[in-house]
Amino acid sequence: MKSSLLQMLRTKENEFISGEKLSEKLGCSRTAVWKHIDALRKEGYNVEAAPKKGYRLSDEPDTLSKHQLESRLKDETFITAVHHYPSIHSTQETAHQLASENAPEGTLILADEQTKGKGRLGRQWHSPRETGIWMSLILRPDIEVKRAPQLTLLTAVAVVRGIKNAVGIDPEIKWPNDVLFEGKKVAGILTEMQAEPDKVHAIIVGLGLNVNQSQFPAPLDTIATSLRIESGKSVNRTDVLSSILIEWDWLYRTFLKEGFAAVKPLWEAHALTMGKRITARTPKETLTGIATGIDDSGVLLLRQDDGTLRHIYSADIEC
């Protein structure tokens, strides 16, 4: 009910809507409408009331609540359930547990704070309270196990396009899982699987996105940034997340229908490394050369100085 009420108030931005009209649209009494309005106010929403005019939403809190998100998505995405936690060890950890309990595809886990946020290669992700988007999404695609890493690249495209649409600034993608501004990390993606050798049961895609931090503790201050720092203004996290999810939805549907080849040119259009000299530190060796792009499976292509074309499946990349 609160999600529908918020959606209606937003559609009439800066205009009053009568209690009678709200009760008619929502299928409840005007008393029930008032109670939901009162509940929204207690959550930080500034809902004005005027005699003979009704209600008007004039300001919203920067909270990642279930009804905040649902009221923006309007059934436009594949999100089937939202689990929101004020504080949690790790959204990835919780997502794995829910996936093992048969949570459906599109189950989204959100947290205002992670105390043990997970990054790639066992690293920890700094996730302070109410400053970023800390989330994991459960997917159940009918694909081969070897194609799962392509979803990391797809997610990166959704993130940069969503940020562009919501904030108006252009980040870049560093293969395989980082989103950067001027060499500083604003987001990281972690893709994990529950699978057998020949069957994917679930893919859990985690995203950590720095939104409203104004500064970072050492040593992160030299390598991390936020949307607030880059845009010069405070950013509404729900606006950013809903924009990312809308992009993610159509990219994922395209991926399932047409394969990764349809996503590849979009990834390359935002890639930081395209045509640049890089160093790739793989588990076995360190390689240098020119990054020429990715192949249709998402593998990084590196042209060494002697002309040899190397396929990079896993590595830390330095530009």
- Please work out, in degrees rounded to the nearest 5, the angle formed at the alpha carbon of residue 9 by the alpha carbons of 4 and 11: 95
Peptide bond into 61 cis (omega under 30): no
Question: What are the structure tokens assigned to 16, written together?
Answer: 């009053």
Q: Is 213 annotated as a binding residue?
A: no
* Distance between CA atoms of residues 76 and 66, nearest Å: 15
Q: H/E element holding 25?
A: helix 19-26
What lies within 8 Å, CB to CB, of 169 at 6+ separation is: 163, 181, 227, 230, 231
Peptide bond into 219 cis (omega under 30): yes
Neighbours of 197 (CB within 10 A): 5
Q: How many helices (H) and strands (E) are present in the chain, helices listed first?
A: 9, 16
* Distance between CA atoms of residues 306 and 289, nearest Å: 9
Q: Is 215 annotated as a binding residue?
A: no
Residues that constitute the known binding site? 114, 185
Binding-site annotation: residue ranges for biotin:
114, 185
